[in-house]
Amino acid sequence: MLRTEEMLLNVGPQHPSTHGVFRLVIKIDGEIIKEATPVIGYLHRGTEKLAEDLTYTQIIPYTDRMDYLAAMTNNYVLCHAVETMMGVELPDYAEYLRVLAMELGRIASHLVWFGTYLLDIGAVSPFLYAFRERERIINLLNELSGGRLTFNYMRVGGVKWDAPGGWFDRVQEFVPYMREQLAGYHDLVGGNEIFLSRVKGVGVYSQETALQYSLSGANLRCTGVDWDLRKHEPYSLYERFDFKVITGETGDAWDRFKCRMGEIEESLKIIEQTFDQMPAEGKTMAKVPRMIKAPPGEAYVRIESPRGEIGCYINSDGKKEPYRMKFRRPSFYNLQILPKLLEGENMANLITILGGVDIVLGEVDG
């Protein structure tokens, strides 16, 4: 009888597939994982605590750095929370600009996920194709906001800049281009038998489990739960748009892939409708006092970020800084299911499952 023993393996914090500084301590028997313990906090910067000493405007650049792949939605959730407390009504034009920026950001974020996920699975090329499209979006948002990653575009009561000349035309050109490339991705990856065999039936969880673990975003929708805050609790102007909530059926990695790719398509639809509805020009800022002070009390708002439900809780005592601030960071919540999913899987599936959750470590660690 051979003597066998379990092996303790540290995956990360320096590992090509942990998407940042994430560590996973796994007990493996051969290649089969017996137990997995995620270790987080390597990128913790204490955004929430820092926010207590900052005025609301000063917090906005910090939110950029939480989910750095979709900074626009983070900007929005903070501004939206403060606006809710102050009761500020935004001009339509500013809201449309915000929606455009957020949906472009959503596409960019899903493209990064698509590229890095395929990179995890072993295909190098889709990463570069996805980044070609993302570069166009980043350039568009750079023209709009002056930043490539940390946009710092939204302000309480509106947005910092109006769109520069010709920007709307360039966005409109981008939509059909992106559609064409999306079809190409399906040729390259969507029908690839090797890819399908890697993701189908991997990392399956049921609707109940997903709800018990408080998953959100594509991680929840892949099980068939029809829940998208843009649809079911419309914020901003989302009730004016006609789009589908993409849901899966089986709750495996393949459904998560389909959900995210479908969401790119839906975001393109929203962008197209924006141009139909949008006034030609308007005010970019509502009337807000120079020094922004949220009235005493508390508020919690939640919106749909590319990764799931991002929420912002503000407890204010009427000063120009929040008394306490809390972000519900979707990546952090989505990550909690990982130990359960990894049990009994092998090393290759570990990467498939971890990649499929779509975590951004800046957001997990806050």
Partner 1 sequence: MSWIDQLLQSPPGWSNFLTFMALGSMMLTITLGFVTYAILAERKIMGAMQLRHGPNQVGGRFGLLQTVADILKLLLKEDIRPAHADRALFIIAPILTYVPAFLVIAVLPFTEAFHFADIGIGLLYYIAISGLSTIGIVTAGWASNNKYALMGGMRAAAQMISYEIPLVMSVVGIILFTGSLNLIDIVNAQESLAFIFLQPIAFLIFFIAGTAELNRTPFDLPEAESELVAGYHVEYSGFRFAFFMLSEYVYLFAISALITILFLGGWHDPIPYLELDGPGLGAIWFSLKFIGVVFLFIWVRVSFPRLRADQLMEFGWKVLLPVALANIFVSAVIKEFFF
Partner 2 sequence: MRGLLKGLAYTLKNMKQEKITYNYPEEPVPMPERFRGIQKFYPEKCIVCNQCVNVCPTDCISLTGKKHPDPDQKRKIIDTYDINFEICILCDLCTEVCPTEAIVMTNNFELASYSRDDLFKNLEWLDENETNVREEN
Q: Which does 164 bind (CB under 5 to 8 A by kind): partner 2, partner 1, none?
A: partner 2
Nearest to 209 by CA among 181, 250, 247, 175: 250
Q: How many CB atoms lie within 10 A of CB 366?
A: 20
Least distance from C-beta 52 to partner 2, angstroms?
A: 13
* By CB under 8 A, residue 154 contacts partner 2: no
Q: Which amino acid is at 224?
A: G
Q: Which does 314 bind (CB under 5 to 8 A by kind): partner 1, partner 2, none?
A: none
**47-76 residues near partner 2, rule: CB under 8 A:** 54-55, 57-62, 65
Q: Which does 236 bind (CB under 5 to 8 A by kind): partner 2, partner 1, none?
A: none
Beta-sheet pairing, 297-305 with 158-159: unpaired
Question: Contact at 8 Å (CB) between 111 and 134?
Answer: yes
Least distance from C-beta 212 to partner 1, angstroms?
A: 28
Q: How far apart are CA 110 and CA 181, in angstroms?
A: 14
Least distance from C-beta 147 to partner 2, angstroms?
A: 6
Least distance from C-beta 28 to partner 1, angstroms?
A: 8
Cis amide bond preceding 13, omega within 30:
yes
Quick one: 232 or 287, whose CB is closer to partner 2? Answer: 287
Q: Residue 326 belongs to what H/E stretch? A: strand 324-328
Q: Which does 17 bind (CB under 5 to 8 A by kind): partner 2, partner 1, none?
A: partner 1
Q: Which does 315 bind (CB under 5 to 8 A by kind): partner 1, partner 2, none?
A: none
**191-220 residues near partner 2, rule: CB under 8 A:** 191-196
**294-333 residues near partner 2, rule: CB under 8 A:** none
126-135: long-range contacts (C-beta < 8 A, 24 or more apart)? 126/185, 126/188, 126/189, 129/181, 129/184, 129/185, 129/188, 130/185, 132/181, 133/107, 133/177, 133/178, 133/181, 134/108
Q: Say which residues have a Cβ less than 8 Å from residue 311's Cβ, sequence separation at least 6.
A: 77, 300, 301, 302, 303, 327, 328
Least distance from C-beta 22 to partner 1, angstroms?
A: 14
Least distance from C-beta 127 to partner 1, angstroms?
A: 8
The residue within the footprint of partner 2, chosen from 92, 143, 298, 321 (CB under 8 A), is 143
Q: Which does 31 bind (CB under 5 to 8 A by kind): partner 1, partner 2, none?
A: partner 1
Quick one: 204 or 348, whose CB is closer to partner 1? Answer: 348
Phi-psi region of 198 (alpha: psi -120 to 50; beta: other; left: phi over 0): alpha
Q: Which residues bind partner 2 (CB under 8 A)?
A: 54-55, 57-62, 65, 125, 129, 132, 135, 139, 142-147, 150, 152, 160-161, 164, 184, 187-196
